[in-house]
Structure 1
Amino acid sequence: MNRTARLYALVEELRAASPRPLTVGALAARFEVSPRTVQRDLQALLESGVPVRATAGRGGGWAVDPAMTLPPIRFTAEEASALAVALAAADAATPYAGAARSAALKIAASMTGRASAAAQELAQRIVSLPSPADCAVRTAVEQALTAGTVLRLTYVDAAGRRSDRAVEPAGLLTADGRWYLIAWCRTRGAGRGFRLDRITAATPTAEPAGSHDLSALLRGSVAADAVRPTALAPLAPPP
């Protein structure tokens, strides 16, 4: 068993035993490797964001929170290829690109057989031109939108005018290959769209933002007819 397959199998072994922890010795015997190898594997899982945890003392060991992981998913070759294309489009300028990359690694580790071969073959045939992106800005936007907090930003509009704003994020809009943060602008007292590549600085705060309906903020704008992407529709509750 190669390491990628073993890492995946380790998670499933811990999931099956949850909430009972398993010792390193028991895991080493199960996968016929040394305890040191298991320790390295568990540390790798921990660093990659998998919710494994260790408990010390009598009856201790390693465990995983089953509520924080997905059960095995079987992709068809076509589905695997579609995921490869979609994740290839998540370049550095795309919101949540970092999470998309880590998800891609986990998906790749879970796939076997024809689906895995199809995804790998297609991935070798996709290239993209890198686009300039301010990772600090993108990360700040992600944090504020996910946590529902006020975001302070510096924005340069199409005419080159610079302004400092305090905004309450409502959502993200993608159009013509660009991303926009749609938010209630406290400075202007109205809904506004901010092109991500024109935000020169952004800082999330701990202040809770108000709740704003994305469709209401877009009403009357050129993006009034924006619709939820078909691929995301099953994930969201009906309007």
Structure 2
Amino acid sequence: MSVRVSRLARLLNMVPYFLANPGISKEEAARELGVTVRDLVKDLEQLFVCGLPGYGPGDLIDLSFEEDVVSVVFSAGMDRPLRLTSAEATVLLVALRSLAEMPGMVDPTAAQGAIAKIESAVGSAALVANGEGLDASGASATAQESTVAATVRSALQRDHALRLTYYSASRDAVSERVVDPIRSLLVDDQTYLQAWCRQAEGVRLFRFDRIDGAVELDEPSVPPAQALGSDAHLELFSDDASLPQAHLRISAAHGWILDNYPMDPVQTLSDGSVEVTMRYGSLDWMARLLVGLGSAATVIGPKELVEAVRERARAALAAYDALEV
């Protein structure tokens, strides 16, 4: 009997289904799952890149479906239909809500649909007991997608170019540029658009919360072939030799700074402090950062940066003196 179910539920139960029906034909499987053969193949291709943490060749679900029949080579532990406990459903709901709140990663409507189905399957009573799923009024919370995120996601789906108005924190400047979107990424709990920047003629990462405006253009996204299929550009802070370089000393008690800023250690001194270098695009921005770090960072060079930090420090002290009058 043909039964239509959501794609998520179908994917979760496909591996046990094919284990129970070894060598079944694509046509028969599609008929029983209530989908077309084309959609079945899409589901199999999706499962082919799913698996266990590590996600290496030996961790992913392995299926054979090149011929007319489908068989499971490696199940990655999905040997029986999924049955979520209340605790498991809660963890899944928390993850889905987090994903829905990250701009540009998923369609919030689709995520909310999955959340609603899980809530319905598990039961609202179990979710209330775990303190998840309902707001103060008892209604399920709904994530709202920003106009910028929706525009970028639309351009990615339709392979269209984008015109972005973007704030660069490293240069402390707003610029407008046309980009060819490649994909959206999650890096260090922030969402980014990876795209070919026509102005810079290179792959760049654009943080969603720094995109001030986005316009989807009526022209195709055409990133060069060398920009695709490589993760070489995923480093957020590349060492651009054209930018000036600061020479700093970070105190031993403030080693956390090295984990939060793109600094390259040069040497560790006898007192535990570390000499580092750091590229910067704006002298004013860099001076503002260093003044904010206070005694945790000492500027060794270059000379213009030392003077800029001194001037900002003097201005700050003068402002304090004015307040005391």
TM-score (norm 1): 0.52
* C-alpha distance in 2 between matches for 1:192 and 1:185: 6
Alpha-carbon distance in 2 for matches of 1:134, 1:141: 11
The reply on whether 1:189 has 2:204 as its aligned counterpart is no
Match of 1:167 in 2: 179
> 2-side partners of 1:210 and 1:161: how far apart?
27
Shift of 1:123: 4.6
> What residue in structure 1 maps to residue 233 of structure 2?
218
1:75 to 72, 80, 84: 84
Query: 2: distance between equivalents of 1:221 and 1:178?
Result: 11
- 8 Å CA contact 1:140, 1:203 repeated in 2: yes
- CA gap of 1:112–1:99, structure 2 versus 1, over 3 A, is closer
Out of 150, 168, 174, the residue aligned to residue 157 of structure 1 is 168
Distance 2:129 2:83 in 1: 18
Larger radius of gyration: 2
Q: Is the 8 A contact 1:149 1:205 kept in 2?
A: yes
Gaps of 5+ in 2: 6-33, 44-80, 136-143, 239-325
Q: TM-score, normalised by structure 2?
A: 0.40
RMSD: 3.8
State percent identity of aligned pairs. 33
Distance 2:119 2:2 in 1: 19
Deviations 1:88-118 (A, max 9, x none): 3135443223431222123333x146xx654
Corresponding residue of 1:205: 217
What is the DSSP-based 3-state SS (H/G/I as helix, E as strand, rest coil) of the residue aligned with 2:89?
Answer: helix
Residues 137 and 202, structure 1, Cα contact 8 Å, conserved in 2: yes
Deviations 1:144-189 (A, max 9, x none): 1122221111101113311111111112222332111111111211
1:66: how far off? 4.2
1:201-228 CA-partner distances (Å, limit 9, x unpaired): 00122322125425345266549xxxxx
SS at match of 1:103: helix
Tell which has more relative contact order, 1 or 2 (C-alpha 8 A, sep 6+): 1
Equivalent of 1:89 in 93, 98, 108: 98
CA contact 2:162–2:181 (8 Å) conserved in 1: yes
| 1:41-56 aligned within 5 A | none
User: What secondary structure is seen at the aligned counterpart in 2 of 1:142?
Assistant: helix
- Return the alpha-carbon distance in structure 2 between the equivalents of residues 217 and 181 of structure 1: 15
Code of the aligned partner of 1:146: Q
Query: Take 2:189 and 2:112, find their aligned partners in 1: how far apart are those partners?
Result: 19
